[in-house]
């Protein structure tokens, strides 16, 4: 019953605040047709990413975890005409679906989708050449979140935002007894961020169509 209420509230605000968007709807349908897991951000979360990118005037965006490109489209739409978004996806099939969705959205010239393990893709990025990135969105392997965050910090500038999705894990992040890799990875990330003096950070718990989770938001000082 609680989950149904969360979804209903999401639907209510989506109807009020989000315009109909055939492109984003088609991207989700293509994801389903391609048998991709239904783990995209929600429409409300996608709009939040878009608004955050717009609010800081982002010109360079980095995304870790493309899936089918739904969040990629939300973020890339916030960029100016000369902006650029680099997104990393390890799975070739997901990357193929995302490439099609991004092209359908008219963003093929803005988005650079790089296929391969994110730790390798990120390690060869150069802040002086590829960035610095004004905003990084990390929504990938939770066990490697700390490493992805460290790369994002290296590739950022003062004032950049780093957003990490799914850090609450339904509350399991505070279960000291759990050995679940995603929850352990979230705790490891939170503790690393707490030690990092170059950022100011917070975590926002969320409920909605995607259940109970939350995201970490860090500003590079």
pLDDT tens-digit profile of 156-196?
999 999 999 999 999 999 999 999 999 999 999 999 999 99
Q: What CATH number should be reported for the domain holding residue 192?
A: 3.40.50.150
Distance between CA atoms of residues 181 and 157, nearest Å: 30
Using one digit for the tens of pLDDT, what is the confidence trace for 140-157?
Answer: 999 999 999 999 999 999
**What phi and psi, each to the nearest 5 degrees, are found at residue 114?**
-110, 125
SS3 210: coil
Reduce the DSSP state of residue 146 to 3 states and report it. helix
Dist. CA 182–CA 28, nearest whole Å: 25
Please check the confidence at residue 215 and state whether its pLDDT lies above 90. yes
Q: Is the pLDDT of residue 132 over 90?
A: yes
Mean pLDDT of the chain: 97
d(CA 164, CA 189): 9
**pLDDT value at position 106?**
98
What is the distance between the alpha carbons of residues 66 and 91, in angstroms, rounded to a whole number? Answer: 9
Q: Supply angle C-alpha 70, 214, 119, rounded to 5.
A: 60
User: Residue 193: what pLDDT?
Assistant: 98
Domain containing 213 equals 2-220
Can you count the helices (H) and strands (E) in the chain? 8, 7
Residue count of the chain, please give it: 221
The total of structural domains in the chain comes to: 1
CA distances from 158 to 56, 104, 123, 199, 221 (A): 12, 34, 20, 9, 5
Predicted confidence (pLDDT) per residue in 19-41, tens digit? 999 999 999 999 999 999 999 99
User: 């994110």: which residue's tokens?
Assistant: 118
pLDDT at 207: 96
What per-residue confidence (pLDDT) applies to 59?
98
Decide: helix, strand or coil at residue 150. helix
Q: Tell me the pLDDT tens digit for each residue of 98-131.
A: 999 999 999 999 999 999 999 999 999 999 999 9
Give the model's pLDDT for residue 1.
78
């Amino acid at each position: 019953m609680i989950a149904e209420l969360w979804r209903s509230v999401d639907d209510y605000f989506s109807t009020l605040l989000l315009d109909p968007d055939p492109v984003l709807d088609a991207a989700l349908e293509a994801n389903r047709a391609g048998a991709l897991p239904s783990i995209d951000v929600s429409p409300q979360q996608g709009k939040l990413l878009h608004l955050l990118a717009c609010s800081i005037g982002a010109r360079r965006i980095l995304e870790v975890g493309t899936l089918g490109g739904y969040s990629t489209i939300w973020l890339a739409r916030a960029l100016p005409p000369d902006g650029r978004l680099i997104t990393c996806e390890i799975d070739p099939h997901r990357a193929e679906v995302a490439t099609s969705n991004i092209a359908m959205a008219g963003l093929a010239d803005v988005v650079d989708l790089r296929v391969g393990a994110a730790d390798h893709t990120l390690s060869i990025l150069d802040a002086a050449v590829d960035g610095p990135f004004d905003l990084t969105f990390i929504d990938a392997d939770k066990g490697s979140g700390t490493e992805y965050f460290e790369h994002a910090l290296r590739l950022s500038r003062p004032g950049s935002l780093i957003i990490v999705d799914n850090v609450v894990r339904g509350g399991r992040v505070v279960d000291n007894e759990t050995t679940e890799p995603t929850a352990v990875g979230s705790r490891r990330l939170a503790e690393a961020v707490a030690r990092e003096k170059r950022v100011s950070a917070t975590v926002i718990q969320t409920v909605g169509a995607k259940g109970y989770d939350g995201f970490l938001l860090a500003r590079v000082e």
